[in-house]
Amino acid sequence: MILTETPRRKRVSKLVTWGHWFALTNILIAIVIASVYVFTSPLPGSVLGTVYLFSNWLSHIAFLTFMGFVIFILPLCYILPNAKLVKTVSSSIAALGLALLAFDALLYNKYGLHLSLSSASLIRHEAESVMAAFGWQQWGFLLLLFLVWLSFQLIIANALWQRIERVQRYKLALPITSFFMLCFTSSHALHVWADANLYQPIVQQDDMFPLSYPATAKTLMSKYGLLDLQNYQQRKALQFSRDVERVAYPAEPVYCGIDNQRSVALLVEVTDTPMPLSPLSDFTPYASHYNIASTPGNALHSILYGLPELYHDELENQSPVMLELPATLGIPVTLYSEFPLHGASLQRYTRHWDDFLTTLTQPGGKLAVGVVNSAQMQSLLERASELPEMTLLAQIARQQDGLSASTLYSNVPLAHTLSSMEDLAPTMLSMLGCQASPSAYSTGQNLLSPKRPWRVSTRGNKVIVLTAELRIEVQSNGNYEIFDRVSGEQRSEKLDTSLLSQAIKHLSRFNQR
């Protein structure tokens, strides 16, 4: 007995083969469309994060497209093995699916959202406003555009059908399948590791692609002793996003009065080696003053804006509240800096040294901020009697490798036990008579009446919290180290998670994502 394939079996076999190649073609098109997600998002910033990004991009989009083939097209090949019908329906489904992918990519690019029930209200609102302005020409153009796209899919479908035997001879199925399977397994394996270690360059990509649910294995790993689940939950709670998309500065409107007769000055010496300033009878030294910023430039901007270096890049075009508020209320404001200060908003306050010195020493209400070198500071101290009635003196090292305390000098009594550069802006405004809450424009606090016994700031990729006894450094993945604040020695005591959560929440108030 001779076994031969029936005509129906042959048609089904050819249709299934054609369907796989049609799916591959649309996978490549979908990958190109999905490049919008990749190239409109910030790069991960690490080699491992980049490897994950590209492997996840290729494998996830390929998986979504292939599942569309399996769910919608493959059953048709068996149920209704009619070539024209299958090609027409498949082309329509592919055109609609890729159009939805393109729409989702544009939605993600504009709003950072994907098509979902949670984004339905936003999409409806946007669609209503856009459709209200549509005329029949716009609707006709959209319909024509979709028909062109559908025609392109039909051309691909027919071209593959006519050349299916020739395409099969290339023997590409195994290497292509192997490549996508390698991308799929490697991306999920990397995410399992990254999730367990809270590795931000990978974990922060979780919401990049639509219908993305990367693999995790925390429960399984903890079961076999590979992961301390309690420690993981603690580190996850301490994570802090360093990606600042938009700064809300100030976080809320600042309303306060200013005493136009008060004369207030802040003099900051940038020096190679901070040394105790010459004894001044009118100035009281306050130890435990910290410059947490990683560079002198960041320290100077922390002083002016009252915010840590995390936010500085987004503040270049905004005026510091410490300068703008008094200037708006009629107090002369003058700024001098021997060292570069970035941002055009600072230039309108900047004066040359002679003009600054004249304004600083003349009577009358004013706010003066001077960033000086050692020789200039010494000349000012020799004229200490001519300095304003309310003056603060601080120092910044040109090169600061570690984190050590310096001394803050003031001729006004401070309720001071611990301070940072971010505290100077609220203190200066308070000296001028402004009673607005510092939390509206700064992460620091008024040293005349401090409310918190701790300080929080950032240095590079670390969040640093200072208390009376400890210095706590939290890395981007939630790992932390605890040091003695005075001696700098590492300590092994239990972390106060409530304090850390409170500090990170306080630090995040100006970050609008």
Q: Which of 97-101, 191-195, 201-205, 214-218 has the lowest mean pLDDT?
A: 214-218
**More reliable by pLDDT, 246 or 507:** 507
Quick check: 41 and 54 in contact, CB under 8 A? Answer: no
| Domain co-membership, 97 together with 49 | yes
Name beta bridge partners: 391. Answer: 265
In tens, the pLDDT along 391-444 reads 999 998 887 777 878 889 999 999 877 999 999 999 999 999 999 999 899 999
Distance separating alpha carbons of residues 187 and 55, to the nearest angstrom: 6
Give backbone dihedrals phi and psi of 269, rounded to 5 degrees, phi first. Answer: -95, 125
**Does the pLDDT of residue 241 top 60, yes or no?**
no
Quick check: 443 and 270 in contact, CB under 8 A? Answer: no
Instruction: Give the residue-averaged pLDDT of 446-456.
Output: 90
| Domain co-membership, 203 together with 337 | no
Quick check: 280 and 383 in contact, CB under 8 A? Answer: no
Distance separating alpha carbons of residues 45 and 451, to the nearest angstrom: 38
Does 309 reside within a domain?
A: yes
Q: What are the respective helix, strand and coil percentages of the chain, to the nearest 5?
A: 50, 15, 35
| Domain co-membership, 221 together with 252 | no
State residue 294's pLDDT score: 86
| Domain co-membership, 216 together with 252 | no
| Domain co-membership, 252 together with 337 | yes
| Domain co-membership, 67 together with 187 | yes
Instruction: Give the residue-averaged pLDDT of 58-63.
Output: 95
Does 346 reside within a domain?
A: yes
**More reliable by pLDDT, 503 or 236:** 503
| Domain co-membership, 188 together with 110 | yes
| Domain co-membership, 307 together with 271 | yes
| Domain co-membership, 343 together with 215 | no
State residue 296's pLDDT score: 86
Per DSSP, the three-state class of 427 is: helix
**Does the pLDDT of residue 15 top 80, yes or no?**
yes
Kindly indicate the confidence band of residue 271, based on its pLDDT and cuts at 50, 70 and 90: confident
Distance separating alpha carbons of residues 115 and 72, to the nearest angstrom: 20
In 411-506 the beta strands, taken as DSSP E runs, fall at: 419-420, 455-459, 462-466, 470-474, 480-484, 490-491
Domain that includes residue 110, residue range: 7-227
- In percent, how much of the chain has pLDDT > 90? 40
State residue 295's pLDDT score: 86
Domain count, the chain: 2
Q: Which residues contact 308 (CB under 8 A, 6 or more apart)?
A: 292, 293, 302, 422, 443, 457, 458, 507
Instruction: Give the residue-averaged pLDDT of 46-69.
Output: 94
Quick check: 483 and 490 in contact, CB under 8 A? Answer: yes
In tens, the pLDDT along 295-310 reads 888 899 999 999 998 8
State residue 2's pLDDT score: 47
| Domain co-membership, 325 together with 381 | yes
Distance separating alpha carbons of residues 242 and 255, to the nearest angstrom: 30
Instruction: Give the residue-averaged pLDDT of 458-475.
Output: 87
State residue 133's pLDDT score: 62
Last residue of a domain, one of 424, 449, 474: 449
Give me the count of residues in the chain: 513
Reference 111, options 134, 95, 133, 127; nearest CA is 127
Does 462 reside within a domain?
A: no
Cα within 13 Å of Cα(47), Cβ side: 0
**Does the pLDDT of residue 318 top 50, yes or no?**
yes
| Domain co-membership, 216 together with 354 | no
**Does the pLDDT of residue 1 top 60, yes or no?**
no
Average pLDDT, the chain: 85
| Domain co-membership, 196 together with 280 | no
State residue 237's pLDDT score: 57
pTM of the model: 0.60
Does 55 reside within a domain?
A: yes
Kindly indicate the confidence band of residue 41, based on its pLDDT and cuts at 50, 70 and 90: confident
Kindly indicate the confidence band of residue 230, based on its pLDDT and cuts at 50, 70 and 90: low
Kindly indicate the confidence band of residue 149, based on its pLDDT and cuts at 50, 70 and 90: very high
Pseudo-torsion of CA 5, 6, 10, 15, nearest 10°?
Answer: -140
**Does the pLDDT of residue 46 top 60, yes or no?**
yes
Does 513 reside within a domain?
A: no
